[in-house]
Structure 1
Amino acid sequence: MDKLRKHIEAIIAISDEEFEFVKPFFTYKRVKKHQYLTQEGDTVTFEYLILSGVFRMFYLDNDGKEYIVQFAGENWWMADYQAYFKDKKATLNIVCMEDAEVLCLTLHGRETLSVESHKMEHFFRVKLTNGYVALQRRIISLLSSSPQQRYEEFGRLYPHLMQRIPKKYIAEYLGVSRETLSRLYSNSKV
């Protein structure tokens, strides 16, 4: 739980007493490589704080083509938020790319923490806002940047993920072929 406290205190200061109130809302889980946290059609009970490991969130179209929505590493939050917040079935898949550890938080737990602790409500608002900003940046990049620019931006924003994620998934995330990714790598300033 030390990682949780450090994660929270990167945004807000909390006392020992306040942290003792927060801790019981989180459950610890080990996740093996290739194990799913969420699959399309699932009921989404938790959002996850990644303590260690890397995850891939993706959508499968009707032809089975995979579209990577997000990668998540340490200190990132991840869930199919449409399903989590709106009580709908999952449309996204979340799979573990290397052995990992996560903390799980139910929506009821999140709401209770937010109601009972102004500091935690502020924490969740900041995290959600940062996630929304990152998603907008990704959409704008996909719409307006060249593959080379997207590759270099990914390398600048997530250098810690470049060596941990197989190139085929980075290519999918960037919307390019594996061969194009090889050319981008050789032309890169990253």
Structure 2
Amino acid sequence: MSIELRKHFEKITPLTDQEFDYILSHFTTKKLKKHQYLIQEEDTVTNDYFVVKGLLKASHIDKEGKEYIMQFAMEDWWITDYQAYFSQTTATLHINCIEDSELLCLSLQNRDKICSELHKIEHFFRRKSNLGYVALQRRILSLLNSSAKERYEQLLLQYPSLFQRVPKTLIASYLGVSRETLSRLSS
């Protein structure tokens, strides 16, 4: 598991073996089965999760029981309920496994500790946050300004492997369309 995390950090900043071993010592591991929840609404959120293996989804379920998928996370991605994680409050999202998953868990306390001790890691997380803000802005603008077909084509272009791994009902929910509309778009 540690090799994947090291490669992930080193996409942004090089690390010595000693630095990486120290960083890794602040993580714990977690394995979950398909359909198992990582976080449920109202849970206290103490960790950010790096996906070593598997696929997860973060979603919100409204009062009528309709699910809105906010994010998918596959290998080499991070996932948590960030509002709850950074404010140390309860979750407003559900995060569960679409596939069996292996995760590396980083508490906010440990994140703050390694960021304060290693400028490289603070830089890494700042860059990751900035990239996340950009991706979120693009997603919101896409939902506001793009047609369903354009959103479908963009997702297919960016993440073709998702279409092999995620049921079409979940892809439809992520795109904000019905399953029937998705079938028309993909034919």
Residue 46 of structure 2 aligns to which amino acid in structure 1? T
TM superposition score normalised by structure 1: 0.96
SS in 2 for 1:163: helix
Per-residue deviation at 1:141? 0.3
Q: Over residues 96-120 of structure 1, what are the superposed CA-to-partner deviations in whole Å (9 max), with x where a residue is unaligned?
A: 0001111000000110011000000
> Quick one: percent identity of the two aligned structures?
56
Are residue 116 (structure 1) and residue 123 (structure 2) matched?
no
SS in 2 for 1:22: helix
Residue 117 of structure 2 aligns to which amino acid in structure 1? E
Q: CA–CA distance in 2 between the matches of 1:118 and 1:112?
A: 11
SS in 1 for 2:44: coil
- Name the residue aligned to 2:106: 105
SS in 2 for 1:159: coil
Q: CA–CA distance in 2 between the matches of 1:34 and 1:149?
A: 30
Q: What does 1:45-60 align with in structure 2 at a 5 Å threshold?
A: 45-60=46-61
Q: Over residues 27-77 of structure 1, what are the superposed CA-to-partner deviations in whole Å (9 max), with x where a residue is unaligned?
A: 111110001110000000111000111101000111111111111111110
Q: CA–CA distance in 2 between the matches of 1:74 and 1:20?
A: 21
Q: CA–CA distance in 2 between the matches of 1:118 and 1:124?
A: 10
- Name the residue aligned to 1:149: 150
- Name the residue aligned to 2:25: 24
- Name the residue aligned to 1:134: 135
Give structure 1 regions of 4+ aligned residues with deviation exceeding 6 angstroms: none
Per-residue deviation at 1:21? 1.2
List gaps (5 residues or longer) in structure 2: none
List gaps (5 residues or longer) in structure 1: none
Per-residue deviation at 1:123? 0.6
How many residue pairs match? The answer is 186
Residue 63 of structure 2 aligns to which amino acid in structure 1? N
Q: What does 1:153-172 align with in structure 2 at a 5 Å threshold?
A: 153-172=154-173
Per-residue deviation at 1:15? 0.5
Per-residue deviation at 1:78? 0.5
Q: CA–CA distance in 2 between the matches of 1:29 and 1:86?
A: 23
SS in 1 for 2:4: helix
Q: CA–CA distance in 2 between the matches of 1:117 and 1:98?
A: 34
SS in 1 for 2:63: coil
- Name the residue aligned to 1:11: 12
